[in-house]
Amino acid sequence: MNGDPDLKQKQLMRRAELVLQEHGLLTLPVDLDALAQAAGIHLREMDRKAEGVSGMLLRYGDQFGIMYATHIDNEGFERFSIGHEFGHYFVEGHLDHIPFDGGVHRLRAGFISYDPYEREADYFSAGLLMPSSLIRPVLRRAQEGLPSVEAIRCAAKASLTASAIRYIDETDDAAAIVVSRQGQVDYCFKSESLKQLKGQSWLRKGAALPAGTLTASMAARPATERRGRRDETETDILDWFGGDRAVRVVEQVVDLGCYDRVLTVLSCAQLVDDTYRDEDDSDESDEAMEARWTPRFR
């Protein structure tokens, strides 16, 4: 469970892709019913009244089953929950370490777990639903920013949040995503291209959204008023991350509805265009920026 977290994440996603290859299911959207059938796992919906739990892995001797929540009307959420339980089944060591209460392992809905096995199952699920070899061609055909996120979501039948995180993982764009709740940052991820911009700070978990941004304005509205709303504007990267240089950024904001969260996608086409001119700058630092936070893909 130790070692480089980014390397571990990549290994788990690669493991998920290999599972699909082994069963002849490496195509989008991934057929989870077919995978369950191939693995001999019973897949069933939970009662819509069963709130508070997003998924269950059932174990009776050498027989396994997966139950997933349907109380949230979100296919991507359901598919990610199923993928998460597949992670516990396929990732080495999980079945020996995760707790089973009466033969049932439960995943609480909307709960951010810091248990390493739950995080690993999330990584596996992301790689299972959105394999790198299939996501990259999708991104090559899509416009940067939110359109790329939407393209992944549509192709993979994934949630918008999970698609946004995978976009940042795979894109060559200079981009970032911010997920916030009640005006405070839940998490923020930057693409490798954006990390090359000097002097930036990080938006830490619990920090207030930058004042004057479109995101802060939307987040300040009552949840019922912003439900499902989308908007975008042009701003400056300095407004979000500070730094030594002004760069125009497109800020695209989507209300996620579920759990009162807002998704922000920031994209900087200018920065990618200028990268080639900056490569020979002797002041450019090659040091990696602060380690990324563990994402929650739902």
Integer Cα distance of 196 and 204 in angstroms:
19
**Same domain (yes/no): 111, 218:** no
Confidence (pLDDT) at 105: 87
**Same domain (yes/no): 28, 95:** yes
Residue 261 lies in domain: 172-278
Confidence (pLDDT) at 40: 97
Confidence (pLDDT) at 224: 87
On whether residue 212 sits in a domain, the answer given is: yes
On whether residue 292 sits in a domain, the answer given is: no
| pLDDT single digits (tens) 159-194 | 999 999 999 999 999 999 999 999 999 999 999 999
**Same domain (yes/no): 179, 117:** no
Residue 53 Cα distances to 50, 81, 156, 188, 249, angstroms = 7, 10, 23, 25, 38
pTM, to two decimals:
0.86
**Same domain (yes/no): 120, 178:** no
**Same domain (yes/no): 105, 196:** no
On whether residue 297 sits in a domain, the answer given is: no
Return the CATH number at 222: 3.30.450
On whether residue 139 sits in a domain, the answer given is: no
On whether residue 71 sits in a domain, the answer given is: yes
Q: Which residues in the chain come in under a pLDDT of 70?
A: 1-4, 48-52, 108-113, 258, 272-298
Core vs surface per residue 227-245: b (16+ CB within 10 A) or e: eeeeeeeebebbbbbeeee
Please, which residues bridge with residue 250 across strands?
Answer: 234, 267
**Same domain (yes/no): 181, 68:** no
**Same domain (yes/no): 56, 107:** yes
Please give the structure tokens belonging to residue 138.
């999708």
Confidence (pLDDT) at 257: 82
Please, which residues bridge with residue 254 across strands?
Answer: 230, 263
The structural domain count of the chain equals 2
DSSP 4: -
Return the CATH number at 95: 1.10.10.2910
**Same domain (yes/no): 26, 82:** yes
CA atoms within 13 A on the CB side of 158: 33
On whether residue 157 sits in a domain, the answer given is: no
On whether residue 283 sits in a domain, the answer given is: no
On whether residue 268 sits in a domain, the answer given is: yes
